[in-house]
Amino acid sequence: MSKTKKKTFLLDFEKPLCELESRIDQIKTLAEENQVDVSAEISQLEIRADQLRQEIFSTLTPGQRLQLARHPRRPSTLDYVQAISDEWLELHGDRGGYDDPALVGGVARIDGRPVVIMGHQKGRDTKDNVARNFGMAFPGGYRKALRLMEHANKFDLPILTFIDTPGAWSGVEAEKLGQGEAIAYNLKKMFSFDVPIICTVIGEGGSGGALGIGVADRLLMLEHSVYTVASPEACAAILWKDAKKSDRAAAALKITSWDLKELGIIDGIISEPSSGAHANPVDAAVKLKQAIWKNLEELWQMTPQQRKELRYQKFRNMGRFEIVEAQ
């Protein structure tokens, strides 16, 4: 990544680290030009940079993790597909006259094993985001996903989904085309499939748009991704009539991977490179592939009935609570 791009997409809490890394680069350049040995000084600065990186990324607030999840340079579904698969063939269309670019999918081979992969697809810049509708799928996108999942179930192929959306598109046209029905039908059908299903939140998992491809035997999250019933901005606007209180809402919603693992909503957290997936996409893809493969190997040891029961119990247990009477 060029220095220009780094500065263009720099988050506020990343600035101290970026400034220190730039200083290290400048010292190295000057030392080379003047043939001066400053290896000891550089070593100390690099140690300080590692410490600062650890301090920053280990103490992020939920609001800051949301910023990382939405980072424009964060790897997308197609980035991960290209990185982890040997072969990839994208399939198009919902067989009803619509091909939604906000939700992509197809067949692939990973280490020789055939799988079906699908996920939300955001853009890299404004033009691309508009074309992809910012990763917010129309009903046709969820119907396309269901067509691919039925194909996977028919031919005994594992289903891998990558979740990265603020939510399903909520415009008038989407409602006319049956957005609620499309998502609800996907939920129903995903519970019935015999094949292993692994869903991974790779960025922002928002509302029913995430759930539409989110019923799984194993639900994983990348370390700095978020998963929420509603965006913090929408929540703040509803509760306090002020979207600027989104940081407060983010903390209350328990949107981080650590919160959701503790609550039993997700099954595993995939660690990211020290500065986030956008800082080292190749390393992030390696860790993602390892996690998926480990879980897939375990799921293949189960019978279809055991997997469906696991899937059912996972969601049945969500939201359980106890009424404790006051003393």
Closest residue by Cα to residue 22 from 58, 51, 49, 59: 49
Q: Give pLDDT, residue 148.
A: 97
Q: For the segment 201-246, what is each residue's pLDDT rounded down to a tens digit?
A: 999 998 899 999 999 999 999 999 999 998 898 899 999 999 889 9
Quote the DSSP letter at residue 97: S
| 6: pLDDT strictly greater than 70 | no
Q: For the segment 69-105, what is each residue's pLDDT rounded down to a tens digit?
A: 999 899 999 999 999 999 999 999 999 889 999 999 9
Closest residue by Cα to residue 73 from 166, 9, 3, 163: 9
Quote the DSSP letter at residue 256: B
Q: What percent of the chain has pLDDT over 70?
A: 96
DSSP E strands, 158-280: 159-165, 197-206, 218-222, 226-228, 268-270
| 268: pLDDT strictly greater than 90 | yes
Q: Which residues of 214-241 are buried (b: 16+ CB within 10 A; e: fewer)?
A: bbbbbbbbbbbbbbbbbbbbbbbbeeee
What SS3 class is residue 124?
Answer: coil
Average pLDDT, the chain: 90
Q: For the segment 130-168, what is each residue's pLDDT rounded down to a tens digit?
A: 999 999 999 999 999 999 999 999 999 999 999 999 999
DSSP-assigned beta bridge partners for residue 260: none
CA dist., res. 144 & res. 48, Å (int) = 49
CA dist., res. 271 & res. 258, Å (int) = 11
Beta carbons of 220 and 267 less than 8 angstroms apart: yes
Closest residue by Cα to residue 307 from 196, 158, 161: 196
Strands 268-270 and 218-222: parallel
pLDDT: is 46 or 133 the higher one? 133
Sign (positive or negative) of CA dihedral 138, 139, 143, 149: positive
- Residue 8's pLDDT band, with cuts at 50, 70 and 90, is low
Beta carbons of 90 and 134 less than 8 angstroms apart: no
| 2: pLDDT strictly greater than 70 | no
